[in-house]
Amino acid sequence: MTGFSINRVFGGAMLVSGTCIGAGMLALPVATAAGGFYPAAMTFIFCWFMMTASAFLMLEVSLWYPQDTNLITMAKSTLGGPGEILAWCSYVLFLYALMTAYTSGAAGILGKIIGKFGFDESWGIWILVSIFSSIVYFGARSVDWANRIMMVGLIGAYVALVANVMPKVSHVMLSEGNPKYLWTTGPLLVTSFGFHLLIPSLKNYLSSNVKALRWSILLGSLLPLIVYLLWEVIVLGVIPVTGEKGLVAILHEEHVSGKQAVIELTQLLSHLLDNQHINSLAGIFGLCAMLTSFIGVSLGLFDFFADGFHIPRTVRGKFLLAGLTFFPPVLIAIFYPTFITALHYAGFFAAILLVIFPALMVWIGRYRLQIQAPYRVMGGKTLVITTLLFGLGVILLEILHRLNKLPTPLTETHLFY
């Protein structure tokens, strides 16, 4: 591999990692606390493996088609009209919900920053969209470099957080918990390892180089796994699970406001460790995490609309694509912010788009249409069926969770029996 291609692989891996690691990662230990660290760690590893496998299946399908082909064309040619309609509905609802959440969150932080200099905080959302729509307009390479800069801030703040908290970790506290409370976290973890919709854009950026794409996906998905596990260690090893100020009590707040849960978590860490820098570090991490996810999702949506509406990448075409990508989330964030509640169902859409769709498309393409391609994921029919069952299982868990049929620490007094 040449030095140039290694640089591209690194950029691709950072795009994958940045898309996975969102600000919601800060609250992952809150959601998994009652299950205990060691069972949660095994659940994380299992979900990472299955999501990486489904990502490679998505890559296999993507490589069947020419450059600038996105999910709509892939779904239509393999799954027919019903697949195309389901892809459209799931994709737009899922990514617009994410874009709205990231736009609202990042604009709020940016508004407070410019407010300190005497500017109107409401300008934050327009400054944010102006900057990032310009970056996405110029394509994957400009997105790559912007993402690298933000990843430096994200990794720097994260390393500082870990360094400040790790010495205080209690191994006894890591042994608490009951695995039965982890069933409700499956859909959340699927979303936490979701970067698959970026793969068609990544294929364009890496010029369909199979080796470079495989390494980008593998390395890019490994970094979030390591980041998540370390964050689990330092939170579950310092903050008690039960009690008035425990993680389960914060989980109850999370049902009201995920943002409030993150604030309470970082404030509690600051108090327990007598370290006021924790809040600042968490704020920097949260902003960088939101922006890296924001730019990754916006690039995927930009390319999706180009394929779905067959819009040429001329100057006029790219202006139209930027408008479709950024303008609706801005309007929703301003006039209908409760749309963000759709994020509660992100795991449902993620299971359809990121797990079930790749498995079905590979099955039909390989075994019915007999498509011959230079790259085929190892594991044969067994891997494809296992991935499909995993996706269906996630949807079932999401339904059971919404029907209150799964055990939760909010409804049971004795957590560890």
CATH of the domain at 148: 1.20.1740.10
Mean pLDDT is highest, among 305-314, 329-338, 407-416, for: 305-314
Structural domain for 235, as ranges = 10-402
What is the pLDDT of the chain when averaged over all its residues? 84
Residue at 5 is within a domain: no
Instruction: Looking at 240-379, list the stretches that DSSP marks H as alpha helix, in order from N- to C-terminal side.
Output: 247-256, 258-273, 277-308, 315-335, 346-350, 357-363
Contact call for residues 23 and 266 (beta carbons, < 8 A): no
Residue 409 lies in a domain: no
Assign 254 a pLDDT band (cuts: 50, 70, 90): very low
Give the residue among 112, 136, 99, 23 at the shortest CA–CA distance from 331: 99
Residue at 415 is within a domain = no
Decide if 417 is inside a domain: no
Work out the end-to-end distance of the chain between its first and last CA atoms, rounded to an integer number of angstroms: 54
Q: Which of these ranges, 38-47, 76-85, 290-299, has the smallest mean pLDDT? A: 290-299
For residue range 340-384, what is the model confidence (pLDDT) as tens digits?
A: 555 566 778 889 999 999 999 999 999 999 988 888 999 999 999
The pLDDT of residue 18 is above 50: yes
Q: Is the pLDDT of residue 113 over 50?
A: yes
Residues 47-74: tens digit of each pLDDT: 999 999 999 999 999 999 988 788 888 9
Domains contained in the chain, number: 1
Token digits of residue 274: 């007598």
Confidence grade of residue 3 (pLDDT, cut at 50, 70, 90)? very low
Residue-wise pLDDT for 279-289, tens only, equals: 778 778 878 88
Burial letters for 245-284: b for 16+ Cβ neighbours within 10 Å, e otherwise? Answer: ebbbbbbebbeeebbebbbbbbebbbeebeeeebeebbbb
In a domain, 272, yes or no: yes
Give the pLDDT band (50/70/90) at residue 417.
very low
Q: Please tell me the pTM assigned to this model.
A: 0.84
Tell whether 410 is covered by a domain. no
**3-state secondary structure (DSSP) of residue 99:** helix
Q: Which of 329, 319, 312, 15 is nearest to 137 (CA)?
A: 319
* Domain annotation covers residue 407: no
Mean pLDDT of 158-164: 87
Q: Which of 314, 297, 400, 312 is nearest to 353 (CA)?
A: 297
238 and 165 Cβ atoms separated by less than 8 Å:
yes
- Judge contact between 412 and 92, C-beta under 8 A: no
